[in-house]
Amino acid sequence: MRVRILGSAAGGGLPQWNCACDGCTTARRSGANRTQDGVAVTGDGTAWYLINASPDLRTQLLSTGDLDPGPGRRDTPIRGVLLTTAELDHTIGLFGLREAERLDVYATPTILAALPAVPILRRYTDLHLHELTGEPLTLDGGLTVHALTVGAKRPRYADPGRGDAWVSALRLLDQRTGRSFVYATCLPTWTDAFDAFLAGADVALLDGTFSTEDEPARAAGLTRTPRDMGHLPIADALPELRHHPGVRFLFGHLNNTNPFAAGPAPVDVAHDGQELLL
């Protein structure tokens, strides 16, 4: 299995267009650039799936040669999009895929029912929706995907609707090699269910939005804490990692207030364009 980090920042990216915080200012000066969270994954090197579709998706696709179209004029190696939340930083990019001849979207029933992009995209492309319910689903290229609901934080634009499976972690298994990748960039708490879901994975991309519980207050004067925002800080996840010595952990979805986004980091932080071989 190959996993390509398309973007490694939280909503807004780094730097964020209207932000003059220390992190964004440093990034502007140094040229550091992180686009918004998402990855591409393949089992056979031919059939690719996107996990999340950020507002930066066009730029991300154009800088990833493996995702170039062809040989037919409208052929694309992208077989579908797996969504882990319905938040705008994970879903705006769906609109940019409207030129597809066919588009397959995988998400929980809660997310599929809420997404503004769904009724709109139906008018542009042959849209196929696939429900992630907790049962494993077979994908092209020898992959299997399994979803675990990890949070119930509803996007601000959405009304209460079909259930509360708003935030998922995904586990992708390469049936040929037995290797697996866990994607959990929005993780409100480290539950026993998540711990079991993660056990035995080869690589896990975790929630790196905030470094510590007091970061939003210190860096941006916010009263809302990482937990209020549905993001377990890195410092609070670290003790849990020791129980999984065989897993390679990386942190993604870094907020621009996170000092590890633009500076040195004591943990393994994902970078745009990085490729992980499992």
Shorter beta-carbon distance to Zn ion: residue 71 or 221: 221
Binding part of the chain for Mn ion, among 26-34, 83-91, 113-121, 232-240 by CB under 5 A, reads: 83-91
Q: Is 21 in the site for Zn ion (CB under 5 A)?
A: yes
Q: Please provide the size of the chain in residues.
A: 278
Q: Is 89 in the site for Mn ion (CB under 5 A)?
A: yes
Cα gap 237→167, rounded to integer Å: 18
Q: Is 11 in the site for Mn ion (CB under 5 A)?
A: yes
Residue 263's contacts (CB-CB under 8 Å, 6 or more residues apart) are 26
Shorter beta-carbon distance to Mn ion: residue 152 or 196: 152
Q: Is 87 in the site for ligand MLT (CB under 6 A)?
A: yes
**Nearest residue to 234 (alpha-carbon basis) of 267, 201, 274:** 267
Cα gap 1→50, rounded to integer Å: 13
Q: Is 88 in the site for ligand MLT (CB under 6 A)?
A: yes
Binding part of the chain for Zn ion, among 23-31, 58-66, 134-142, 223-231 by CB under 5 A, reads: 23-31
Token pair belonging to 275: 């490729």
| Residue 78 · residue 50 · CB < 8 Å | yes
Shorter beta-carbon distance to Mn ion: residue 194 or 210: 210
Give SS3 for 131. Answer: strand
Cα gap 81→125, rounded to integer Å: 14
Which of residues 3, 14, 89, 260 is near ligand MLT by CB under 6 A? 89
Q: Is 207 in the site for Mn ion (CB under 5 A)?
A: no
Q: Is 229 in the site for ligand MLT (CB under 6 A)?
A: yes
Give percent helix, percent strand, percent coil of the chain, each to the nearest 5.
25, 30, 50
Shorter beta-carbon distance to Zn ion: residue 149 or 256: 256
Cα gap 61→100, rounded to integer Å: 14
Q: Is 93 in the site for Mn ion (CB under 5 A)?
A: no
Task: Report CA 57 to chain centroid distance, whole Å.
Answer: 12
Binding mask of the shown chain, residues 8 to 47, with x at each position contacting ligand MLT by CB under 6 A? --xx------------------------------------
Write the CA distances from 160 to 113, 163, 164, 175, 204, integer angstroms. 10, 8, 8, 37, 31
Q: Which helix (H) or strand (E) holds 261?
A: helix 259-262
Minimum CB separation from ligand MLT for residue 89, in Å?
A: 4
Longest alpha-carbon distance in the chain: 53
Q: Is 158 in the site for Zn ion (CB under 5 A)?
A: no
Q: Is 230 in the site for ligand MLT (CB under 6 A)?
A: yes
| Residue 169 · residue 182 · CB < 8 Å | yes
256 makes contact, choosing from Mn ion, Zn ion, ligand MLT, none, with CB < 5 to 8 Å by partner type, with Zn ion
19 makes contact, choosing from Zn ion, ligand MLT, Mn ion, none, with CB < 5 to 8 Å by partner type, with Zn ion
Token pair belonging to 251: 């942190």
Q: Is 1 in the site for Zn ion (CB under 5 A)?
A: no
Binding residues vs Mn ion (CB under 5 A): 10-11, 87, 89
Binding residues vs ligand MLT (CB under 6 A): 10-11, 87-89, 186, 229-230
Binding residues vs Zn ion (CB under 5 A): 19, 21, 24, 256
